[in-house]
Structure 1
Amino acid sequence: MPTHFFRIALVLGLLQAIGPFAIDMYLPALPSIGSSLGASASAVQASLMAFFLSLGLGQMVYGPASDMLGRKRPLTFGLLVFAVGSVGCALAPDIDTLVVWRFVQGLGACAGMVIPRAVVRDLHTGAEAARLMALLTLVFSVSPILAPLAGSFLIEWSDWRAVFWAVTVAAALAIVLLATSLPETRTAEQRQGSTAGSALAGYWLLLRDAHFMGLVLIGGFGISAFFAYLANSSFVLIDHYGLSTRQYSYAFAANAISFIGMSQLTGRLVQRFGMARLVGGGVAGFAAAMVAALLLNISGVDGMWPMLALLFVGYGCLGLVMPSSAVLALDAHGEIAGTASALMGTLQFMTGAAVMAIVGVFVDGTARPMLAGVAGAAVLTLVITLMTLGRGQAHRPINEKIGT
């Protein structure tokens, strides 16, 4: 595989990792933020939910903007907004101010979430796109392995505010990387037909494409299962099971390693089985593992290690689903890849925020509400997969262009 292919994957992965890094590095600090600011667990979780909400909503703007202005300028603007939001979080005197600045931070971070997917579609389709998406996943998935561990070290060395100063520095480095290492992949000629009106027409087209929407929701409920774990795992593993922040970071990293390892098999497995079959098999294994974890807990087995083992298996299966479902969704919409990527990201993050909010209502200090949210999202993912990619359904039902 050419060196250029790996270089693009590295740059896109690092840019896409900025947002997840601001989430994962922050997770070990959630209990200490509550103590420092005198806030409840639900109030602290609101700061995470605000980030996810803006991360989803902002993509609706950045996607079409990248179709109209090219990929690099909106990315640079987003990184600057993210840096400003990070400084605001670091200086926040109370939980309400922290929630506001986390929302601003998310508005910047979403540029790095949506635009790299559009760049992948600019450069490749089919198996090559799946291979590049898997490599991109490998790079940005370093975040859930290293970020919680780095966060735990920073918290022990200083306090939770150091986490936000660290991501401010990361944003500055990302701006330099973007300016020096990523070429513009959307030419001036390709931008000519992209306007605000064409973006709205694109959204309308995509919303009526049942196949596209099904694939988006497969990814949406799949990632929602992970979001439910993100929002609750630090409280469950640290407060309920008694892990230290360092031990928590290791437990969190294990699931990320499983996800990453399996995602790297995507390129080979797509060539052998096809993307639709790969997504279907991955979702089936994902749902089986998550439902088993919930049933084990309901039966009275409240052990941490069985739960972590089943989550490890489940998130490994999810690693097969996320890259392939994204490629399938974008494959037929190359002319509006930025807009399609934006709608995908918005709907997926809004779904994730909704699942987090629902699980938050039932939080009781044990693992059961978290596991119920994870299993419920996994079952919905399976149902939507059967409806979208079941026999006779694995096709694109709408075949029209913007303006026709």
Structure 2
Amino acid sequence: MTKKKYIQLILILGSLTALGPFSIDMYLPGFSGIAKDLNTTVAKVSMSLSSYFIGISAGQLLYGPLLDRFGRKKPLFIGLLVYILASLGCVYVADIDSFIALRFIQAVGSCAATVASVAMVRDLFPVKDTPKVFSLLMLVLGLSPMLAPTIGGYVTEDFGWHMVFLILMFMGIAILIASQIGLPNTYKPDTSISLKPKPIIANFISVLKEPQFFTYAFTGAISFSGLFTYVAASPIVFMDIYHVDAKTYGWIFAFMSVSFIGSSQLNSVLLKRFSSEQMIFGALITQSVITIAFQILSVYNLLGLYETIGMLFLFLGCLGISNPNTAGLTLAPFAKNTGSASALMGAIQLGLGALASFAVGIFVKDSVAPMVGIMTCTTIVAFIVLNIGKRFIKQKVEASGDDAMMAH
């Protein structure tokens, strides 16, 4: 493979990877504008985030078998087409319920890009190169939440929130064209794969029965739902409670991403000295201490804007360390069912994330305390699940450092 071809493939796969985070984060600064235009509350607008997470969660399970059965390009084409049309729908939406529904459809479409990009790394690159390619894609995944809300903040302030969805629509069109022209057809469709529900469900159940899978998948997903809580609550907390404008909010969000990305990079350094298990245990203990302190401070109204940012920064740092390790240990036992295992892991993570962001829409109104309450509960429950689940694991399969992948 020539260097030019290599760079071209990385750029296309990177843009497929970035579509999801951009669709999640770019419209966050527009929450109060959307609420005003659609005559509703910011908390109700945050339900459109929950519906997006539910859409990606369902899409993960749907596209896995489809990409194996029909090859990579057809499902990707249809998914991106759905995404483009739903984005256009969001521009002309007139009420909040249609907006929430369109966000669900948009998510199901964008999910094709996310799942296909992971599958195609395995098709297009030799095994020894995949860790390097994945870490480049991780960088894209990490940079997207920094860039998206900052760009979104400026677009929203200067052109209004409708413009954000027009930009997402054009991104979808550009990615659709690039992927159809620039990606080779390396994968032969496997017609032996059945799309009947029964064998698919049986396959997922066999994955779920593996003790190492359910222990680390649920530990990771429950603690990671703290991130979804933060994403869903942040427009309410910063723009409604602390009254920052859309541009400032974008910058705060970008600053927070530094913690998550920085700590996941630090993670690879620490793995030279500690095992993944020790890292998860340490991160969850630290996270518990941070959330309990955060909860006490928030209940007694001792937090201003800067203190809240500081506590959230520490909290996200712990997630950046535990998440790649739980992902690595979750997938480690699967040599042949990796696709189903990673789809199921993603679905559990996003499903629980949707529940957490749904809770935000109900409870977070005029105080930071409910958001912190949800984060404290998820952290402590994850710690309990980890310690109970570990007892069921007879033989632990180690994660090689290469497998640790994280979802946004």
TM interval, short-chain normalised: 0.7 to 0.9
Equivalent position of 2:28 in the other structure: 27
Equivalent position of 2:404 in the other structure: none
SS at match of 1:287: helix
2:60–2:115 contact (8 Å) kept in structure 1: yes
Q: In the alignment, does 2:227 pair up with 1:196?
A: no
Distance 2:154 2:31 in 1: 14
Q: Note the C-alpha offset of 1:371.
A: 1.3
Is there any run of 5+ residues in structure 1 with no aligned partner, and where?
398-404
Judged with a 3 Å threshold, the aligned counterparts in structure 2 of structure 1 residues 196 and 349 are, in CA distance, closer, same or farther, namely same
Query: Percent of pairs identical after alignment?
Result: 32
Equivalent position of 2:388 in the other structure: 387
Distance 2:380 2:123 in 1: 33
The worse-fitting range, judged by mean Cα deviation, of 263-272 and 115-124 is 115-124
Is there any run of 5+ residues in structure 2 with no aligned partner, and where?
399-408
Q: Given residue 177 of structure 2, which amino acid in structure 1 is its aligned partner?
A: V
Distance 2:335 2:360 in 1: 36
Judged with a 3 Å threshold, the aligned counterparts in structure 2 of structure 1 residues 228 and 62 are, in CA distance, closer, same or farther, namely same
Equivalent position of 1:68 in the other structure: 69
Q: Note the C-alpha offset of 1:345.
A: 1.6
Q: Given residue 358 of structure 2, which amino acid in structure 1 is its aligned partner?
A: A
Equivalent position of 1:43 in the other structure: 44
Judged with a 3 Å threshold, the aligned counterparts in structure 2 of structure 1 residues 259 and 226 are, in CA distance, closer, same or farther, namely same
TM-score (structure 2 length as normaliser): 0.86
Q: Note the C-alpha offset of 1:383.
A: 2.3
- Structural RMSD (CA): 2.9
Q: Note the C-alpha offset of 1:181.
A: 4.5
SS at match of 2:302: coil
Q: Note the C-alpha offset of 1:126.
A: 11
Residues 124-170 of structure 1 show CA distances to partners (whole Å, capped at 9, x for unaligned) of 99997666544322211212111111111111221110010011111
Equivalent position of 1:156 in the other structure: 157
1:130–1:323 contact (8 Å) kept in structure 2: no
Distance 1:165 1:311 in 2: 31
Equivalent position of 1:306 in the other structure: 307
SS at match of 1:58: helix
Judged with a 3 Å threshold, the aligned counterparts in structure 2 of structure 1 residues 310 and 91 are, in CA distance, closer, same or farther, namely same
Distance 1:141 1:247 in 2: 20
Judged with a 3 Å threshold, the aligned counterparts in structure 2 of structure 1 residues 284 and 79 are, in CA distance, closer, same or farther, namely farther
Q: Given residue 330 of structure 2, which amino acid in structure 1 is its aligned partner?
A: A
TM-score (structure 1 length as normaliser): 0.87
Distance 2:326 2:71 in 1: 25
What pairs up with 1:95-174 in 2 under 5 angstroms?
Answer: 95-119=96-120, 132-174=133-175
Judged with a 3 Å threshold, the aligned counterparts in structure 2 of structure 1 residues 182 and 334 are, in CA distance, closer, same or farther, namely farther
Equivalent position of 2:278 in the other structure: 277
Q: Given residue 162 of structure 2, which amino acid in structure 1 is its aligned partner?
A: R
Judged with a 3 Å threshold, the aligned counterparts in structure 2 of structure 1 residues 275 and 5 are, in CA distance, closer, same or farther, namely farther
Count of paired positions: 394
SS at match of 1:196: coil
Distance 1:139 1:266 in 2: 17
Distance 2:305 2:55 in 1: 33
2:332–2:397 contact (8 Å) kept in structure 1: no
SS at match of 1:243: coil
Equivalent position of 2:401 in the other structure: none
